[in-house]
Amino acid sequence: MGCDRNCGLITGAAIGAVLAVFGGILVPVGDMLIQKTVKKEAVLEEGTIAFKNWFKTDTDVYRQFWIFDYNNTADGVYKVFNGKDDISKVARTDTYKGKKHLSYQASYCDMINGTDAASFPPFIEKTQVLQFFSLDIFRPSYVVFTAETNLKGIPVYRLILPSLAFASPLQNPDNHCFCTEKLLKKLYLIWCARHWQMQRRKPVYISLPHFLYASPEIAEPIEGVSPNEEEHSTYLDVEPITGFTLQFAKQLQINILVKPARKIEALKHLEQNYLVPILWLNEGANESSHSCIGYVRTILNIDLQNEDLMCFIFASTPYLRVEELVAFFCFCFALSISTFLKNY
């Protein structure tokens, strides 16, 4: 026996009503069972702030737990040199948000030095120390030459963050105002994260992945840590004539400082402090486009005596991001052809 359209609607409504009634009963019962289980098995003891926030998630403490609250990706306004008066200053940052200093560190550690690492002043020498300012770590740092390599026919310099950049003040006195905590003064580690020092003193530290270059005291207690310079280092492949960064790998590891805590079951038996890895950030770019590499070759073949053209090229690059370089190279290619035809 069949069922017409009205019969189907009535049946569906009846089933929905039954589900609604049972849902109204099961949801509160389920919540009650879960809460009792949490109270019984949670490592966070009742009475602590963390325990309260397990149930009530709309407090200030809970919101502060989101350590890297970085939803707005606009870094701010940078003012950079265009090289018109001094080509050696091309792409160097003059001010950030209208300031020459960050107002977070002491003395020279608070300065905004170098470029944003997307490009550097042209005609790079192997002996140069190239500075850059990174907003990820809120401090300037530097890279040094390590090897010559070839990127699809273009000779480039591989520049790396040296281990000395991560050294404690005992090994590198220049880091004395970056490493102010006792934990950092005696250990070989990268920078204190800006979210720890600058945003309500959260216990967050930044290192290279697997604690590369860090002291054995930091890496040995953590199971599974196996630092490898080839896989975990940060490097830039820079074309030395133009100063363009054609390929790079920026790798950082986020760690939190864990201390013994009498009121937390899982932490009360700890005998010392530990830096515990939370996540590994890997950002990079490689030029796989044959046409892009072709445009770079074209630029390198431009007559370097044409100062107006060269100054235009170098003055324009600091304002471009990696994804805009292809379009920029296309423009330079057309400009070079036009210059050639005029001279011809």
- Supply the DSSP symbol for 267: T
Q: β-strand 129-134 against 78-80: which pairing, if any?
A: unpaired
∠ CA 322-237-204, rounded to 5°: 75
* Closest CA relative to residue 247, chosen from 281, 293, 200: 293
Task: Pull the structure tokens for residue 134.
Answer: 């990174």
CB distance 218 to 205 below 8 Å: no
Q: What percent of the chain has pLDDT over 70?
A: 53
Q: β-strand 139-151 against 129-134: which pairing, if any?
A: antiparallel
State how far the alpha carbon of 190 is from the alpha carbons of 66, 168, 179, 204, 211, in Å: 22, 8, 9, 12, 9
* pTM exceeding the 0.85 threshold for the entire prediction: no
Task: State the average pLDDT for the chain.
Answer: 70
Could you read off the pLDDT of 230-266 as tens digits, one per residue? 888 899 999 998 898 888 998 888 888 888 888 888 8
Q: Kindly state the average pLDDT of the residues 159-186.
A: 73
The gap between the terminal CA atoms of the chain, to the nearest Å, is: 92
Buried b (16+ CB within 10 A) or exposed e, 69-92: eeeeeeeeebebbbbeeebebbbb
Q: Kindly state the average pLDDT of the residues 42-53.
A: 60
Enclosing H/E stretch for 4: none
Identity of the residue numbered 253 = Q
Could you read off the pLDDT of 189-237 as tens digits, one per residue? 544 443 344 444 567 788 888 888 887 888 888 888 888 888 888 999 9
CB distance 133 to 113 below 8 Å: yes
